[in-house]
Structure 1
Amino acid sequence: MASISLFEASLSLFCFLIIFCYFLNKKHFGYLVNKRSPWNWPVLGMLPALVLWSRRIDVLIRVLEKSNLTFLFKGPWFARMDALITVDPANIHHILSSNFSNYIKGPEFKEIVDVFGDPLFTADGDLWKNIKMSSQVILSRQGFQNLSMSVATSKIKDVLLPIFSRFSEEGTVVDLQDVFRRFMFDISLVLVSGSDPQSLSIEMPEVELAEAFEDAGEAIVSRLIIPRFLWKLQNRLGLGKEKKLIEAGATFDRVCAKYIAAKREEIRSQGIHHHDHDGECEDFLTYYIKLDTSKYELLDPSDDKFLRDTILAIIMAIRDTSSSALTWFFWLLSKNPHVEAKIRQEIITNLPKTATSQERPWSATDHREFLNKLVYLHGALYETMRLYPPLPFQRKTSIKSDVLPSGHIVDANSNVIFLVYALGRMRSVWGEDALEFKPERWVSETGELRHEPSSKFLVFNTGPRTCSGKHLAMTSMKTIVVEILQHYDIKLVEGHKIKPKAHLNLLMKHGLRVTLTKRCSA
C-alpha cells in the first residue's frame, strides 16, 4: 500500500477542522442552502457543499436546475475528487450508449468498492462482456425464471403472509424496510446457492452476511464523500468505518467460502459435470461452477474468488434494488390512498377466475398474463423508482477527451457522475409536476404502459449495461404487492419521520414503521 505523507495527513485534518467550524455557523449554513451555486473554496474546493448535499439533496437539485442540468464539481486540492455532475438525458445517452466505449467504471471506482471484488457492476472491457453474456444466459432460461417465481411465491405464502398475520393479530409495529430487506435477502441466497438463511422470521435474527453488507455500504458512501488520502489513512490504521469495512470483507470471504464448498460437494456427489439442457432449478452457483469456459475465456469457475464476487453481486442486485423500491412504494401508497384504491380495483378486475377456483389450479401462464394486465400497478412501481431510485447515482470515467451534447468538455481520465435521484425530479425533464407521485404518467391513452427513454428513466440503466434482470425484478415486485394488498391494509405509524439515508442504495434512515390490519375479504 502506498505510504501516506505527514503533509497529506495534516491537510486532511486541516480540511475537516474548517468544515466542522463552518457548519457550526448557522448563518453560513443557511447561505449555502439558498445559494445558487456552490462556493469553490481555496484548498477545500466544493467539499463543504458536498457534505451539505449528502444531508440535503434538495439543495443539489436546485443547483442542477440552475446550471442547465450539468456542472463541474471541484474537490479539495490534490484529492482527485473533481467530477462533472449531470442529469441531462442527452449527455447520459451519449456517455452510456452513443460513446459507450469511451467511458468505463475505471480503477478509482473499483478501488472505492474493492471489498466486492470484480463483479458485473465494476468490471470493464472483455471481462465485463464475459460476465454480462454468461448472466444473460441463465436469466433468460425458462427454468431459472420458473425457479425465481416459485421461490418468491412460496416465500410469500409460507413466510411473509404468516408473519404479517402474527403481527396483525398482536398489533405489533413493523419496520417494512427491514421485512423487505430480509425477504429479498433470503430469496437472493436461495437463487444464488440453493440455501435459505431464513433471516425473515418472527424472531428477526441477526445474519452476519446481511450485517456485513450494511457496514460495507456505509463505509463506501463515506469513501465517496471524504478525500481519498483520508480514507486510505483510516484503512491503513483500521479506524472508523474503514475498520468495519475490513471486517465486512473478512465476513464475505468466510461465508461465501462456506457456500462455495457446500455447492462443489453437492455437485460432486451428484456426479454431474455439465449443464442440463433445460437448466431447470439451477441456481447461480451451480450454473457457474459447471460453466463451459470455452465460451467465456476470462471466467474461471475453479477460482473461488470469482464465485465469491458473483455471490455478492447477485445478492446486491436482487436484495438491495427490489427491497428499496418496495419500501418506498408502500410509503407512497400510504400517502396517496386514491392510488392504492385504483391498484386494488385493477387487481380485482383482472384476477382470473381460476385464481380462486377449486376446479383447476392457477397456472404459471395464468399468473404471467394476470401480472401483464396490471398496467397501473406497473406504472406506480415505475413512478416510485423515478422519485426514489434504488441506486441513486452512477459514476463513469472517460478514457479519451470528449465533448458532450451540452457542450461541456470531458478531459481524458475524468469522472462523470449521474445523479439518478435528482434526474427523476428535474422539471425540465419530467415537467412541472415532476415532484408529484402520478402513476398515470406511465399509462397511455389506450391503457398501455407508456414508454420513456431509458436515458431519462435510468433506474434499469441504459445502453449495453441495461439491467438483464429487469423483467424478473418487475414480475417479483408485482407479485409481492398483489399478495400484500389482497390480504392487508397498511398504515404508517403516526409521527414517524421518513428521510433518505446515504447508502449505496436508497434506504429510509429510520425505516418504515407501520401497523398491519387483515382485510375482511382476505
Structure 2
Amino acid sequence: MEFSAGFVSVSVSVVAAVGFLLLAAVALLASKKRRQEPPVVGTIFHQFLNFQRLHDYHTELARRHKNYRLLSPFGRQLYTSDPAVVEYMLKTNFSNYGKGSYNYENAHDLFGDGIFAVDGDKWRHQRKLASFNFSTKSLRDFSGAIFKNSASKLANTISSLANTDQMFDIQELLMKSTMDSTFKIAFGFELNCLDGSNRRGSEFAKAFDASNECIMLRYVNAFWKIMRFLNVGSEAALKKNLKVVDEFVYKVMDIRINQGNIETDKKDDILLKFLEESKNNPEKIDLRYLRDIILNFVIAGKDSTAGTLAWFFFLICKNPSVQEKIYQEVKRVIEPNECVDFAEFSQNIRDESLNNLHYLHATLTETLRFFPAVPLENKVCFSDDVLPGGYNVSKGDIVFYQPYAMGRMEYLWGEDAEIFRPERWLDDEGVFQSESPYKFVAFQAGPRICLGKEFAYRQMKIYAAVLLYFFQFKLRDEQKDPIFTRSSRARFLISSIFMEFSAGFVSVSVVAAVGFLLLAAVALLASKKRRQEPPVVGTIFHQFLNFQRLHDYHTELARRHKNYRLLSPFGRQLYTSDPAVVEYMLKTNFSNYGKGSYNYENTHELFGDGIFAVDGDKWRHQRKLASFNFSTKSLRDFSGAIFKNSASKLANTISSLANTDQMFDIQDLLMKSTMDSTFKIAFGFELNCLDGSNRIGSEFAKAFDASNECIMLRYVNAFWKIMRFLNVGSEAALKKHIKVVDEFVYKVMDIRLKQITNQGNIEIDKKDDILSKFLEESKNNPEKIDMRYLRDIILNFVIAGKDTTAGTLAWFFFLICKNPSVQEKIYQEVKGVIEPNECIDFAEFSRNIRDESLNNLHYLHATLTETLRFFPAVPLENKVCFSDDVLPGGYNVSKGDIVFYQPYAMGRMEYLWGEDAEIFRPERWLDDEGVFQAESPYKFVAFQAGPRICLGKEFAYRQMKIYAAVLLYFFQFKLRDEQKDVHYKTMTTLQIDQGLFLEVFSR
C-alpha cells in the first residue's frame, strides 16, 4: 500500500472519469431520438471487474436477455445470443458487418493482409484460393498422412509417461504436436517442436507464440503505440520476435521456390499451391502476401485444435463412461491388427472409419458447445442498420455474438443445457446430426464459415482415436477446476477474445495518450529551470510491463543508479537505494515526509485512523501508547506464551503429514497460525483459523483478508471511486467484508469492555491483550479514544503482525530447503541451546523455550535476517514530500513528489553487501565468535527506521524464532519440487505466489 501511491499513477482515473461522464451525458441526449435498443444491463467497468470470468458473466446476462447493451464511453457495444441476429450479420446482411480497421491495425504486424485480418477484395481473393485448395483430394490426403504421423509421435511421447505416476501437461504436448502438423501442411517443412530436434524450428515456434501474445497485449494495453514508437517493452519484444518469424518463414519459402526439380508428392503443401497460383497472378501475390496467407493458416490451425482437444480430455476425464464409450467405438470401427504399434494403428485409420466414429464426433462437438475455440466474436457495423427484433445499430457500433454463452442457453439446448451429454448430437440410430451453424457457432457461419472445419474434425478424431485406443487418461487432481488464462489463441482463452472484445474495452487509451503528451510537454518546459534531478531511466509504462517482476526490474535499475526517476504524467516519482537518502527521509527531516492524504483515502475503510494510515498528532498519540505497551514485561510474557502455544499447535498439524509423502502449503498454514496468535494478542480472543473450529472467527479471518485484498486493488484500479459510488465489484465486496469485520470486532470489544467494567469476574492474566490495555487508557482519555478509534488501533496491529511474519517464515523455509546445510546448522543450534528433555512433546518443548535461549540462537537470528535481506516483508516503500526540499546528493524534490526507497533492491546491491550480495549466506551477520551483529537500519530497511521504525520488530523476531525452533527441532523439510521456480506476488507484502509446497519428515 505504501509503494502504490506512486505506482498507481499509471491509472487515468481523473481524465477517464470526466470523459465517461461527458460521453454518458451525450448518450442520454441521444436517447431522446427514441432509437429502439436492447436493455442496458451494465457497463464496461463490470466487464473489467468480471474479467477473469468474463464468459460466465456474459452467460449470466444472456440468460436474462437475448440481446443487451453494456455502456461504454468509447463506443456502442451490443451483445446477442439470438441465432436470428447471428444469421443476419453472418449471412443475410454479411457485407455490412466485418473486421473493420481497428482489428486490422492491431493485428497487422503478425497477421499482415491475411484472411483473418482483412475485409473486401483481399478477403474474397484469399477465400477463393483457399476454398479451391481445401477441396482438393491431394491436400486432404497430404494433411491426413501428416495428422496420422503426428498422432503416432505424440502417442510415443505419452507412452514414456504411462504407468509411471508422472503428471504431464496434455495441453502443452498438443500445442507442440499441432504446431508441427500445421507447419508441415502449410510449408512442407519439419518443425519438430514435440521432440525439440530442430533448433531453428523450435526458435521459430517460440517466437511465433511470443509474437501472438504481444499482438494480444495490444488489445489490453492502451499505450502500445507509444511503446512501439519508443521501441520498449512488449513492442520491442514483438519487433524482435517478428524478425525471427519472418527470417525463418522467408527462408523456408525461398527454399521451396528454388526446388525446381521437386517431385510431385512434395508439392502438396499449401505454400507450393499458392506459389503456383502466384505464377499465374504475379500482380496479386508477392512474397509478403504469401507469408501473410500461410501464417494465417498456421494461426488458425494450431492453437484452436489443440485447445479444443485439451478441453475434450478434461471433459472425458470428468466423465469416464464417455471415455470408455469412445474407446469401444474406436476398437470396433477401426479393427486394428493384433500387437499393432502406434504408427501402424494410425496408418490403418481410413476416412470411412473416421466418418463412422459418430460418438467421438458427437463428443468433440459437445466439447465445442461448452468450450468453443473462440468464445466471443464481434462484427463492426459499416453503415446504419436495423437488426432482427427491430434494434437500431449505427456505423461503427460493435455487435458481439457469444458462442460460449449460446452453448449454455436452455432456450436453445433444452433444460439439460448445462449437462455434458454427447448423445444430444446423435439420432436414434446413433448417427451424428448437425445443428444450425447460427445456433452452434463454434466455426462461425455464412460466407466466412471456417474452411478448415472438416480438417479440424479429422485431425481431432485421429488424435483422439490413437490416444484413447492405447491409453486411459485421468485428471491428476480431480478437485481442481481448470481456469481461463490470458495466453494466446485457444489456450483456454483465445487471443481472438481479446481482439474482438477489446475493441470496446480498450478504455482510456485516447484520453490518456493525449493527457500524457500534454503533461510530457509541461515536464519538458519545467526542465528549463535546471533543477538537479536523478537520471530518467524509463517511464511508468515500463513498470506496467514489468509488473509481475516489479521488484527485480527496480533492482536492475538500482544497480545502474542509486537514485533515478521514472517519467509519469500524473506526478513526479523518485527512486532511491542510497542509505543516505533513506536516513534523511526517515530520520533527519522526518517531519517533511509521510503518508499523505492519498494513502489515507485509499485505506481508510479498513485501516481507519490507525497508526499505518495517519501522520501528525494521531500518529504521535498512537505511537506513544504503543511504545509504552510494547515495552511492558506483561505484554512480552503474554505474547511469548501465545507464540509458543501457536507453534506447538502448528507442529501438531504438520506432524500428521510427516513421512506420508503428502505435500502441503507451509505458507497457508503459517498465515492461519499467525492470524490466530496475532488476534489473541490483540483482542484476547481465540480465533482458531488453523483448526477451523470457530466458525464465526474463521468468517472474520476470511473477511479480513478479503478486505485487505480489496483495499490493495484500489491502488491498481483507476475507477474504484466510481465503483464505490455504484456499489459494484470489489467495492461492493469490500463493503460487505468490512461489515463482517466490524460486527465481529465491535462484538469482541464489547465483551472485553464488560469484563473490565465487571473486574471481579476477570483474572489478571486475562487483561494483557492490547485491546484491554487500550480500553484502560480510554477511561483516562475518553475524549481521545472512542470505540471506532480503538477498532482502528487494534486492527492496524493485526494487519502488521499477521502477513508479514508468515510471509517471512515462508521465504525462510524456501531458502533453508534450497540450502539444507543451513537447515541442519539451525537444528544443531536449537538442540544445543534449548537442551530439551527426552521424549518431549511439542507443547512441553515450546514451553521450555526461554528468552535467554532465544537470545542465544544467533545462527537462527542471522538466517531470518538474511531471509529479510533477500525478501523484506514490504519490498517497496514510499514517502510523500510535504514541502520543497533538497535530498542528499543535491537532488531537488517538490511538494507532492513521491520518493520511493527499495528494501528489496537494496538487499541485493553489491556496493552495500559486497561481491556476494546475491548469495544466501547467514554467516555475514555473525562475528568471529558467532554472535549476531546488526547493520545500520538505513542499509537494512526491512523494519523501516527512524521515528517510525517498526515497534513490533523484536516481537516479530521472537515469534519467528519460536516457530522455527519448534518446527526444525522435530521435523526436516524438503521442497516438493526442487526444479520449480518460486516467484513472489506483486502486492503490498512479499508473499510466495501460489504457496510453498513442502514434504516433511520426522527427525
**TM-score normalised to structure 1 length:** 0.86
Q: Is the 8 A contact 2:829 2:857 kept in 1?
A: yes
Quote the offset at 1:221 in angstroms: 3.4
Q: Is the 8 A contact 2:906 2:939 kept in 1?
A: yes
Quote the offset at 1:372 in angstroms: 1.2
* Pairs within 5 Å for 1:81-120: 81-115=571-605, 116-120=607-611
2: CA distance, partners of 1:18 / 1:97: 42
2: CA distance, partners of 1:335 / 1:298: 54
2: CA distance, partners of 1:325 / 1:143: 26
Secondary structure, in 3 states, of the residue corresponding to 1:151? helix
Q: Say whether residues 1:491 and 2:974 are aligned partners.
A: yes
Structure 1 equivalent of residue 553 of structure 2: 59
1: CA distance, partners of 2:218 / 2:898: 23
Which of 209-218 and 324-333 deviates more? 209-218
Q: Aligned in 2, Cα 1:19/1:9: closer, same or farther, shift over 3 Å?
A: farther
* Pairs within 5 Å for 1:333-412: 333-352=816-835, 367-412=850-895
Quote the offset at 1:509 in angstroms: 1.3
Structure 1 equivalent of residue 246 of structure 2: none
Secondary structure, in 3 states, of the residue corresponding to 1:59? helix
Q: Aligned in 2, Cα 1:467/1:486: closer, same or farther, shift over 3 Å?
A: same
* Pairs within 5 Å for 1:83-162: 83-115=573-605, 116-157=607-648, 159-162=649-652
Query: Which amino acid in 2 is paired with 1:61?
Result: T
Quote the offset at 1:72 in angstroms: 2.4
Quote the offset at 1:74 in angstroms: 3.1
Query: Which amino acid in 2 is paired with 1:299?
Result: K
Q: Aligned in 2, Cα 1:51/1:219: closer, same or farther, shift over 3 Å?
A: farther
* Pairs within 5 Å for 1:211-250: 211-227=702-718, 230-250=719-739
Q: How many residues align?
A: 499
Q: Is the 8 A contact 1:221 1:502 kept in 2?
A: no
Structure 1 equivalent of residue 221 of structure 2: 19
2: CA distance, partners of 1:215 / 1:353: 41
Structure 2 equivalent of residue 289 of structure 1: 775
Secondary structure, in 3 states, of the residue corresponding to 1:85? strand
* Pairs within 5 Å for 1:189-200: 189-200=679-690
Secondary structure, in 3 states, of the residue corresponding to 2:802? helix
Structure 2 equivalent of residue 512 of structure 1: 996
Secondary structure, in 3 states, of the residue corresponding to 1:288? helix
Give the unaligned 5+ runs of structure 2.
Answer: 1-13, 24-44, 46-72, 75-216, 241-511, 521-538
Q: Residue by residue, what CA displacement relative to the aligned partner does 1:118-171 show, whole Å, maximum 9, x if unpaired?
A: 1111221121111011111111111111111111112222x2121111122654
Quote the offset at 1:492 in angstroms: 1.3
Query: Which amino acid in 2 is paired with 1:505?
Result: T
Query: Which amino acid in 2 is paired with 1:479?
Result: I
Largest Rg, 1 or 2: 2
Query: Which amino acid in 2 is paired with 1:144?
Result: L
1: CA distance, partners of 2:809 / 2:790: 28
1: CA distance, partners of 2:783 / 2:916: 47
Structure 2 equivalent of residue 299 of structure 1: 784
Q: Residue by residue, what CA displacement relative to the aligned partner does 1:234-256 show, whole Å, maximum 9, x if unpaired?
A: 33233443333333322222221
Quote the offset at 1:363 in angstroms: 11
Structure 1 equivalent of residue 358 of structure 2: none
Query: Which amino acid in 1 is paired with 2:738?
Result: G
2: CA distance, partners of 1:342 / 1:375: 11
1: CA distance, partners of 2:908 / 2:589: 26
1: CA distance, partners of 2:946 / 2:556: 28
Structure 1 equivalent of residue 957 of structure 2: 474
Secondary structure, in 3 states, of the residue corresponding to 2:961? helix
Q: Aligned in 2, Cα 1:169/1:493: closer, same or farther, shift over 3 Å?
A: closer
1: CA distance, partners of 2:909 / 2:21: 39
Quote the offset at 1:469 in angstroms: 1.6
Q: Is the 8 A contact 1:234 1:240 kept in 2?
A: yes
Secondary structure, in 3 states, of the residue corresponding to 2:565? strand
2: CA distance, partners of 1:118 / 1:466: 19
Secondary structure, in 3 states, of the residue corresponding to 1:490? strand
1: CA distance, partners of 2:986 / 2:733: 17
Which of 434-443 and 207-216 deviates more? 207-216
Quote the offset at 1:483 in angstroms: 0.6
Q: Relative contact order (C-alpha < 8 Å, sep 6+): which is higher?
A: 1
Q: Aligned in 2, Cα 1:243/1:280: closer, same or farther, shift over 3 Å?
A: closer
Quote the offset at 1:456 in angstroms: 0.9
Q: Is the 8 A contact 2:571 2:897 kept in 1?
A: no
Quote the offset at 1:351 in angstroms: 2.9
Q: Residue by residue, what CA displacement relative to the aligned partner does 1:459-493 show, whole Å, maximum 9, x if unpaired?
A: 11100011112112111111110110010111211
Query: Which amino acid in 2 is paired with 1:6?
Result: V
Alignment partner for residue 662 of structure 2, among 151, 172, 183? 172
Structure 1 equivalent of residue 800 of structure 2: 317
Query: Which amino acid in 2 is paired with 1:517?
Result: F
Q: Aligned in 2, Cα 1:97/1:259: closer, same or farther, shift over 3 Å?
A: same
Secondary structure, in 3 states, of the residue corresponding to 1:299? coil
Structure 2 equivalent of residue 454 of structure 1: 937
Q: Is the 8 A contact 1:220 1:504 kept in 2?
A: no
Quote the offset at 1:196 in angstroms: 0.8
Quote the offset at 1:352 in angstroms: 3.8
Over the matched positions of the two proteins, sequence identity in percent amounts to: 28
2: CA distance, partners of 1:16 / 1:247: 35
Q: Aligned in 2, Cα 1:369/1:465: closer, same or farther, shift over 3 Å?
A: same
1: CA distance, partners of 2:993 / 2:857: 31
Q: Residue by residue, what CA displacement relative to the aligned partner does 1:343-392 show, whole Å, maximum 9, x if unpaired?
A: 1222223234779899xx99989712211111111111001011111112
Quote the offset at 1:52 in angstroms: 2.4
Structure 1 equivalent of residue 747 of structure 2: 258
2: CA distance, partners of 1:247 / 1:433: 49
2: CA distance, partners of 1:9 / 1:72: 33
Secondary structure, in 3 states, of the residue corresponding to 2:750? helix
Q: Residue by residue, what CA displacement relative to the aligned partner does 1:284-315 show, whole Å, maximum 9, x if unpaired?
A: 11111111665x68731xx2211211221111
Q: Aligned in 2, Cα 1:355/1:142: closer, same or farther, shift over 3 Å?
A: farther
Q: Aligned in 2, Cα 1:244/1:418: closer, same or farther, shift over 3 Å?
A: farther
Structure 1 equivalent of residue 565 of structure 2: 72
Q: Aligned in 2, Cα 1:280/1:216: closer, same or farther, shift over 3 Å?
A: closer
Secondary structure, in 3 states, of the residue corresponding to 1:500? coil
2: CA distance, partners of 1:204 / 1:398: 45
Structure 2 equivalent of residue 6 of structure 1: 18
2: CA distance, partners of 1:405 / 1:226: 34
Secondary structure, in 3 states, of the residue corresponding to 1:56? helix
Q: Alpha carbon RMSD of aligned pairs, Å?
A: 3.5
Secondary structure, in 3 states, of the residue corresponding to 2:658? helix
Q: Residue by residue, what CA displacement relative to the aligned partner does 1:16-66 show, whole Å, maximum 9, x if unpaired?
A: 96625739999842748999xxxx986458342222232122222212222
Secondary structure, in 3 states, of the residue corresponding to 1:195? coil
Q: Is the 8 A contact 1:93 1:455 kept in 2?
A: yes
Secondary structure, in 3 states, of the residue corresponding to 2:956? helix
Structure 2 equivalent of residue 268 of structure 1: 757
2: CA distance, partners of 1:124 / 1:146: 31
Query: Which amino acid in 1 is paired with 2:224?
Result: Y
Q: Is the 8 A contact 1:143 1:281 kept in 2?
A: no
Query: Which amino acid in 2 is paired with 1:7?
Result: G
1: CA distance, partners of 2:239 / 2:563: 19
Q: Is the 8 A contact 1:53 1:60 kept in 2?
A: no
Q: Is the 8 A contact 2:594 2:880 kept in 1?
A: yes
Q: Residue by residue, what CA displacement relative to the aligned partner does 1:257-283 show, whole Å, maximum 9, x if unpaired?
A: 11111111222232599x97xx88510
Query: Which amino acid in 2 is paired with 1:237?
Result: L
Q: Aligned in 2, Cα 1:353/1:201: closer, same or farther, shift over 3 Å?
A: closer
